[in-house]
Amino acid sequence: MRITDRRFALYLMTPAALFLAVFVAYPLFRLIADSFFKISPIAGGPRDFVGFQNYVTAFASEAFMGAGWRTLAYTLVVVTLEFALGLGMALLFTTLGRSSQVWRTVFLYPLMIAPIVAGLLWKFLMIDNFGLIGTLLHQAGILSNPNQIGWLSDPNIVLFSVAIPDIWLTTSFMCLVLFAGLQNIPGDLIEAARLDGARAPALLFRIILPLLRPVIAVALVVRGIDAARAFDTILIQTNGGPQSASETMSLLIYRTMIRFGDPGLASAMGTIYLLAMLAVAFFAVATIWRPGKDN
Amino acid sequence: MSSRTAILRNRATAEGDVTSQTALPASDVTAPHGLRKRRGVNREGLEAGRRSTRTILWILLAVAMVLYGFPFLYLLFTSFKTPIDTIAVPPTILPKEWTLENYANALGRSGVLASFINSVQTAIISTVLSLVLAVPAAYGITRYKTPSGRVFIMAALVTRMVPPVAIGIPLASMMSSVGLADTPIALSIAHTTISLPLSIWLMSSFFEAVPRDLEEAATVDGCSRLGALWRVVIPVVSGGIAVTAIFAFLASWNEFLFALLMTAIRSQTTPVVIANFQTQFGLDWGSMTALAAVYSIPVILLTLLLQRKIVAGMTLGAVKG
């Protein structure tokens, strides 16, 4: 008795599929189900079906809409800066060639640091009074007072400040992926363009970037998804404050669930957030990435 | 296993290394492309040739490395300051007086050593679980290319997008209803929901690079399909399994949100303890930096040691696209 290949393949996949079904799909199902109930935060408390009420509450709440825009702004800031810096570093390493190899390795180190540690570290650098950045800028004569910029206390700039650890942590990832892509560009193509008189900017925008497009797309999609879920770094730096100015979607859902004790509303928010992420990710994948498609 | 299979396997081990490296250009970061001519005389591709240009580029790199490396160095310096000195106004970069006081304070605090043990335990269980589930699944997906396999790998990609905050609470209540609340097992299961999709993805790419005639030879020699996988294919992809294991381990080691939602006292991991320092004990920056340093340095060293493998894993999905 011999089972078919197709069935054998199915057997191999079953344990992992079951695991994901039980520990991802089922909690998601619970999340969606909870979003239609008004739930008391006390264990064993009442649970009343309220239809779409939680969704209406979510969309009507300023906190929710604000968190949505902030999450979008945060993601754009993180991904854009990270891409610009990562590309710059990747080009630098490529133009320096193999003699820069040791530094390429050293440049990887932030990738291994826990986001919570990175958030803590940058909070320590930016915090009012004993933060080093303000002091150094003051000593360099750029600021008249070390506390002139309230990195983490000024609601107007805090969303940018809390993004810094995230950028610092994962610029290395961007650099690494783009560097790998750059190694795949045939050298003679660059030579030929140079012989034709192409200068550096033309070389970059007309040849290098178009050839890197698939790699750039993957890097942006992967990092975009991660940045939109950012939690640890923001929680430890500001806990969403001041005045909710750095409260992104993950934080709002967490606080609605734990601090304000409204699991129903938090579940509705989580469901909308998840749907929005899926929609954006599928759109991005469908238009720019196309995984598994052979050239 | 006959000698023919053995020869094929040895060949494939050699080839496997080559193919996996050509498929992943970054895994061999030392040799960008083709044969390089004498450096500085003949430039090739994008490498800068002129001495003046190179000098400017080196200065740029030096500046970038200092800026990029400084934050962590500052954390290290701070951890060696005296507790009072850590919050001095204005702050200084180097300690006025080098001391291990912060380390003694941090490690002596109750629960800190236990949290290290929890972190190690959780990360190991999660890594093993990820590998046990991902290796057969990825093999099934890449070798047999069935429609269900295609659906499955897409589904695994979708789970990567699920925000942990959305499933953390339901997951925590599921765990407590089966009596696993606040245990390393429960947390490592939660961490596996993060690392499993990634592991399946990585392992699929590694299996893709193994030549097919390898298992065919083994089955002709009388191996069952499972036997061929276990005795012939697995040894060939052992490097890939190591890469996947590192990633699964790091994902669990550095994870915070699930740990925050699913652990109380007994199974708390170190990231949660680090975060709690600032509320529970006021602003104890000295101990916090010391603990952060102790927690980060082993994995940074591990990475530097296994640098090539990690680079291979990280660029894999992207470059193969």
Q: What percent of chain A has pLDDT over 90?
A: 37
Query: Each residue of A39-62: pLDDT tens digit?
Result: 887 766 778 888 899 999 999 999
**Residue B321 predicted with pLDDT over 70:** no
B148 assigned to some structural domain? yes
Pick from A130-144, A221-235, B114-128 the range whose average pLDDT is largest.
B114-128
The whole-number pLDDT of residue A208 equals: 87
Q: How far is CA B118 from CA A8, A189, B290, in A?
A: 37, 53, 19
Query: Each residue of B146-171: pLDDT tens digit?
Result: 888 888 888 887 888 888 888 888 89
For the segment B241-262, the average pLDDT, to the nearest whole number, is 90
The whole-number pLDDT of residue B14 equals: 39
**CA–CA gap between residue A35 and residue A33 (Å, rounded):** 5
**Residue A292 predicted with pLDDT over 70:** no
Pick from A76-80, A243-247, B152-156 the range whose average pLDDT is largest.
A76-80
Selected for mutation to probe chain A from B21, B60, B154, B167 (highest A CB count within 10 Å) is: B167
Supply the DSSP symbol for B282: B
Q: Minimum mean pLDDT among A4-13, A257-266, B277-286: which range?
A: B277-286
Strand ranges in chain B using DSSP code E only, listed in sequence order: none
Q: B149 and B218 share a domain?
A: yes
Quickly state the pLDDT bin for B225 (edges 50, 70, 90).
confident
Coil, strand or helix at B183: coil
Pick from A5-9, A108-112, B69-73, B281-285 the range whose average pLDDT is largest.
B69-73
Closest chain B CA to residue A116: B271
Average pLDDT, chain B: 80
Q: How far is CA A76 from CA A52, A115, A159, B130, in A?
A: 31, 19, 11, 32
Q: B44 and B193 share a domain?
A: no
**How many angstroms separate the CA of residue A186 from the nearest CA in chain B?**
7
Q: B182 and B42 share a domain?
A: no
The whole-number pLDDT of residue B105 equals: 87
Cβ contacts of A75 on chain B, cutoff 8 Å: none
Q: B143 and B288 share a domain?
A: yes
**CA–CA gap between residue B215 and residue B226 (Å, rounded):** 10
Q: Minimum mean pLDDT among A33-37, B35-39, B211-215: which range?
A: B35-39
**How many angstroms separate the CA of residue A156 from the nearest CA in chain B?**
24
The whole-number pLDDT of residue B46 equals: 76
Closest chain A CA to residue B278: A236
The whole-number pLDDT of residue B118 equals: 94
B86 assigned to some structural domain? no
Cβ contacts of B196 on chain A, cutoff 8 Å: 16, 19-20
The whole-number pLDDT of residue B27 equals: 36
Q: B181 and B235 share a domain?
A: yes
**CA–CA gap between residue A109 and residue B250 (Å, rounded):** 13
**Residue B299 predicted with pLDDT over 50:** yes
For the segment A225-252, the average pLDDT, to the nearest whole number, is 90
**Residue B23 predicted with pLDDT over 50:** no
For the segment B116-145, the average pLDDT, to the nearest whole number, is 94
Selected for mutation to probe chain B from A6, A22, A95, A294 (highest B CB count within 10 Å) is: A95
pTM of the model: 0.84
**Residue B281 predicted with pLDDT over 70:** no
Q: For the domain that residue B207 is a member of, what is the CATH number?
A: 1.10.3720.10
- Residue A48, φ and ψ in degrees, nearest 5: -110, 135
Q: What percent of chain B has pLDDT over 90?
A: 28
| Residue A56 touches partner B, C-beta closer than 8 Å | no
Closest chain A CA to residue B39: A97
Q: B123 and B172 share a domain?
A: yes
The whole-number pLDDT of residue B286 equals: 87
Q: B159 and B202 share a domain?
A: yes
Q: B139 and B263 share a domain?
A: yes
Q: What percent of chain B has pLDDT over 70?
A: 80
**How many angstroms separate the CA of residue B182 from the nearest CA in chain A?**
16
Query: Each residue of B27-67: pLDDT tens digit?
Result: 333 334 444 433 433 455 777 777 888 889 999 999 999 98
Average pLDDT, chain A: 87
**Residue A109 predicted with pLDDT over 70:** yes
Residue type, B75: L
Contact at 8 Å (CB) between A75 and A227? yes
Residue type, B308: R
Pick the closest to residue B320 from A290, A88, A112, A83 (CA basis).
A290
Q: Minimum mean pLDDT among A192-201, A265-274, B184-193, B293-302: which range?
A: A192-201
**Residue A138 predicted with pLDDT over 80:** yes
Pick the closest to residue A16 from B152, B134, B191, B198 (CA basis).
B134
Q: B69 and B208 share a domain?
A: no
How many domains does chain B fold into? Answer: 2
B125 assigned to some structural domain? yes
B104 assigned to some structural domain? no
B2 assigned to some structural domain? no
B19 assigned to some structural domain? no
Query: Each residue of B81-114: pLDDT tens digit?
Result: 988 888 777 888 888 889 898 899 888 888 899 9
Closest chain A CA to residue B89: A130
B254 assigned to some structural domain? yes
B167 assigned to some structural domain? yes
Q: What angle do CA B315, B321, A28 make, to 5 degrees?
A: 90
Q: B37 and B131 share a domain?
A: no
**ipTM of the complex model:** 0.86
Task: Please name the member of A26, A135, A278 whose beta carbon is closest to the beta carbon of B90.
Answer: A135
**How many angstroms separate the CA of residue A93 from the nearest CA in chain B?**
8
Q: B35 and B129 share a domain?
A: no
Residue type, A165: P
Q: Minimum mean pLDDT among A205-209, B14-18, B143-147: which range?
A: B14-18
**Containing domain of residue B47, as a range?**
29-78
Q: B74 and B119 share a domain?
A: no
The count of other CB atoms within 10 Å of the CB of residue B150 is 12
Quickly state the pLDDT bin for A80 (edges 50, 70, 90).
very high
Instruction: Return the higher-pLDDT residue of A211 and B128.
Output: B128
Tokens (6 digits) for B41: 């005389």
**Residue B264 predicted with pLDDT over 90:** no
The whole-number pLDDT of residue A89 equals: 93
